[in-house]
A and B are shown apart, each in its own frame.
Chain A
């Protein structure tokens, strides 16, 4: 089940916790994995650990030309990207009334605009090959909202609408577009929260624990597989029951 032998995947934000877990599971299922990130050293370490069937693609997603170049290079070096996982994301939290234009713009640019641009580069070749899997990592808060994250929530909700539109346009080409929405997952992003914040969140999660990157990655592996061919435009929530949607 979910064998990805011979498939080529590009994972953005692979130097982060969830991205690394996604890269690991796709690799374990047999895919060749392109690792994108901003920290070259971390990417090299991960690539060395995984061994064969890995390539690294450092790029700054807030630079529009770099995003285009990333798509072109990945398509060329991997000899066709079958699986695109748009996982990279940033937060610039702050209460809305004090949110600066810069914090709004940078979060939307990296989390949403770069997804549009990178996906545009890679979708056409997928359509030509009549096969593709586009998986966008959104967030539970893109659906529920979260105080202090108007910019982040807008970007993640945008990703879901984007995915549904694209899914409808290209379904006949056997290219599926889906989202995975993690809840509260152990990562550098959640490490920034203090204990009081963590306790408050855990009390609202039926599972009473944080999720792991591997649990998110497993949903990605399913959507990336040929078994998931009839699933498109969907969002799989991996959140311990904190929101049942």
Chain B
């Protein structure tokens, strides 16, 4: 597993207070991890801070699962 994936999962676990084994790449923030719309905004802001990237609103709207976040950040940092 990549370093980015580990860091993304750590942020999700800390922010949403969910068990680490539930944070799979296919897990949807809202449907599987119990996030509300404010949580998703906060997660995007936390990713921006952690990885020093800017995630514009239209990109943020496409980040629905843990895997989406990992892929987006990997692409930005490639």
Contacts of B42 in A (CB 8 A): 124, 127-128
Question: Is A172 in contact with B36, judged by CB distance below 8 angstroms?
Answer: yes
Answer whether residue B1 sits at the interface, using C-beta atoms and an 8 A cutoff.
no
Answer whether residue A169 sits at the interface, using C-beta atoms and an 8 A cutoff.
yes
Nearest Cβ distance between residue A54 and chain B, in whole angstroms? 31
With the chains together, A172 CA to B41 CA distance in Å? Answer: 14
Chain B residues 34 to 52 lying within 8 A of chain A, measured CB to CB, are 36, 38, 42, 45
Interface Cβ pair total, 8 Å cutoff:
10
- Closest residue on chain A to residue B42 by CB atoms: A127
Residues of B within 8 A of A (CB): 36, 38, 42, 45
Nearest Cβ distance between residue B41 and chain A, in whole angstroms? 9
Contacts of A172 in B (CB 8 A): 36, 38
Q: Main SS of chain B's interface residues?
A: helix
Q: Contacts A172-B36, A173-B38 known; list 8 others, CB within 8 Å.
A: A124-B42, A124-B45, A127-B38, A127-B42, A128-B42, A169-B38, A170-B38, A172-B38
Size bracket of the A interface: under 10
Nearest Cβ distance between residue A75 and chain B, in whole angstroms? 14
Contacts of B38 in A (CB 8 A): 127, 169-170, 172-173
Show 10 A/B contacts (Cβ-Cβ < 8 Å), sorted by A. A124-B42, A124-B45, A127-B38, A127-B42, A128-B42, A169-B38, A170-B38, A172-B36, A172-B38, A173-B38
Chain A residues 18 to 56 lying within 8 A of chain B, measured CB to CB, are none
Nearest Cβ distance between residue A90 and chain B, in whole angstroms? 32
With the chains together, A124 CA to B42 CA distance in Å? Answer: 8
Residue interface mask A216-241, B partner, CB < 8 A = 1:
00000000000000000000000000
Nearest Cβ distance between residue B49 and chain A, in whole angstroms? 10
- Closest residue on chain B to residue A127 by CB atoms: B42
| The 10 nearest A-B residue pairs measured at CB | A127-B42, A169-B38, A124-B45, A172-B38, A172-B36, A170-B38, A173-B38, A127-B38, A128-B42, A124-B42
